[in-house]
Structure 1
Amino acid sequence: MTQLHDPLRPIVFAYTAVCDHLATATNGRFHRDPDGTVLAVSGAPVATLNAVLSPNLEPSAEVVEALAGEMSGTGLPWSIQVRGRAGTAVTEVAARFGLTAVSTSPLMIRRADAGMPPAPAGSLRIRPVEGEELGLYARTMAEGFGAPHEVFAMFAEPALAKTEHFTFYLAEADGVPVGTGMSAVTDHLVGVFNISVLPQHRRQGHGQAITAEIIRAGREAGATTAYLYSSPMGEPVYTSLGFRTEETLTAFTAPA
């Protein structure tokens, strides 16, 4: 398949644009090679948030290696990310940089014909938050993912609230934060990110409700197709909302 006949390329490019905005808003670093491959440094101590990412079906090992050389000097945990199953050349590049742990994430897409998802039921309130509440947002997300607060401290940056087409959501039950979500709208696409629910509030449909709200708000903004990269835990939730896996993302990181 050539790039001219790659229907998922616009979605992957939208994802790289999100990486660009996150890096820029948090005073990180972003660079796009002429072939589309990006180096995105958010500064967060999370390998997947500092990435060399190729949006091409056949990534250039030479370009990936050149950008990996720049990334390796940051001192941050980082990753190489490619679409689908990585070829031998990219796998060898990753190994030369010590990135020998391999994981995959399904790219799940909800097409326009899936219709409008249901509104949240019960007393759950899902609302956008402004810059002064991003600290609460970041802490809630860290607790939802079971991570130290400093891991997601970048999401407390007030500048993120000013990023065009980004919206950050808190879910509250009886006034208490129980989960988070984030949307990024690019033309007719809405990316779904940061879906987290506090452990004591899981299995009550909150993750599904947050995702549905992001889809509904995206459709109101003209984004008829939603996409996300799922964790194994989240995949059944997204499937229930009409998402379907259409590709995978392979990430190379340093062994734990």
Structure 2
Amino acid sequence: MTDTDRDEPSEKTSDLITDINKNLRHAVSILADKTHSGESQQFGTLMVASAGVPVPLFNRVFVFDIPPIGELSAAVTWIAERDVSFWVTVTDPAIEVVENHCADLDLVKVAEHPGMAMTSLDEIPPRDSTAEITEVNNSDECDKFSTVTASALEMPLGVAEQVDQAALEADNIRLFLGRVDGRPAATGLLIQSGHVAGVYSIGVVEEFRRRGIGKAMSWEVLRAGREAGCQVGVLQSSEMGSPLYEKMGFETTVTYHHFEPAN
């Protein structure tokens, strides 16, 4: 085995981490740019994006490389002054730096999520679901999408409506709504960045769960990504959801550590 052969797996993993990080930043920043109360800022190497809604998922400081402490402090101060709940989302190799300065930054670690990647979209199975999945193309359908999102993801309806309307108007974002017997039951978002298909907002209303609809929706989003020319699929999973995505062919490539204000 040559030195090049030994390096290939780590280089491939590094490329996937770059793909998933870029897609996540793109997802949050494009929604921030489209919401009426949203704003994005750059602090040296740090991207900060805030949709201005009271859900930390949509307000973030992204720390994917070791930052100068002054830049990190400025970024956290800026988003804190917007008076919205937020996350500082951190990966290796920056996690140790952030943890060492939690007290100074008034932050506390609250969650971890696996970032997962599917390295090829060639083997997407045929459609086979009790749900009829269609793309959302107008405001009336978007309202139905938001009702499902709010219920399935336990999000305030007003927040879901604001964010989903922004998504409907954005380039490189597509919304999908699943129905069972004509009733809105599931949602999914495709957010494309270059050759990468990001799977977001997979949600199923309680009464329609455990029927494979969430899995079918995930495949539908990936299928749309493949048709748009994407080669890689990425997502951020909950701990509970990762076994399902592993069965689909996703692998954990990075761990996202989330910090929020301590007070």
TM-score, with structure 1 as normaliser: 0.89
Percent identity of the aligned residues?
26
Q: Compared with structure 1, are the counterparts of its residues 238 and 87 closer, same or farther at alpha carbon in structure 2 (3 Å cutoff)?
A: closer
Match of 1:30 among 33, 37, 40: 40
- Alignment counterpart, residue 63 of structure 2, candidates 32, 49, 54: 54
Letter in 2 for 1:52: V
**Secondary structure of 2:203's aligned partner:** strand
Which stretch shifts more, 183-192 or 159-168? Answer: 159-168
Indicate yes or no: 2:19 matched with 1:10: yes
Give the drift of 1:129: 0.4
The answer to whether the 8 A contact 1:127-1:170 is kept is: yes
* Contact 1:44 1:153 survives alignment (8 Å): no
CA contact (8 A) 2:64 2:93 kept: no
Query: How far is 1:95 from its partner?
Result: 3.4
1:119 and 1:209 in contact (8 A); partners too: no
What SS does the corresponding residue of 1:44 show, helix, strand or coil? coil
1:214 aligns with 2:197: no
Match of 2:152 in 1: 144
Gaps of 5+ in 2: 1-6
Q: Give the superposition deviation at 1:136.
A: 1.6
Question: For the structure 1 residues 155 and 185, does the alpha-carbon distance in structure 2 shift closer, same or farther, using more than 3 Å as the test?
Answer: same
- Which amino acid is 2:245 matched to? Y
> What is the DSSP-based 3-state SS (H/G/I as helix, E as strand, rest coil) of the residue aligned with 1:100?
strand
C-alpha change, 1:156 and 1:214, in structure 2 (3 Å) is closer
The correspondence of residues 1-256 of structure 1 with structure 2, limited to 5 A, is 6-7=14-15, 8-27=17-36, 28-35=38-45, 37-56=46-65, 58-84=66-92, 87-112=95-120, 115-132=122-139, 133-157=141-165, 159-254=166-261
Taking structure 1 as reference, are residues 254 and 120 closer, same or farther at Cα in structure 2, changes over 3 Å only?
A: farther
Q: Which runs of 5+ in 1 are unaligned?
A: none
Task: Describe the superposition over 1:181-207 as per-residue Cα deviations: whole angstroms up to 9, x where unpaired.
Answer: 101111110001000011111111011
1:164 CA drift (Å): 1.0
Matched residues in 2 for 1:89 and 1:145: separation?
32
* Structure 1 stretches of 4+ moved >6 Å: none
**How much does 1:122 deviate?**
4.0
- TM-score normalised over the length of structure 2: 0.87
How far apart are the structure 2 equivalents of 1:26 and 1:12? 22
Q: Which amino acid aligns with 1:30?
A: S
1:148-169 CA deviation, whole Å, 9 max, x = no partner? 3234232242x43221110011
| Local SS of the residue matching 2:81 | helix
Shift of 1:100: 1.1
Greater Cα shift, 204-213 or 10-19: 10-19
Contact 1:85/1:250 (<8 A) preserved: no
Q: Distance in 2 between matches of 1:122 and 1:189?
A: 25
Q: Give RMSD over aligned pairs.
A: 2.1
Q: Relative to 1, partners in 2 of residues 1:87 and 1:129: Cα closer, same or farther, differing over 3 Å?
A: closer
1:93-125 alpha-carbon deviations (Å, 9 max, x no partner): 44334321331110100011x633223324411
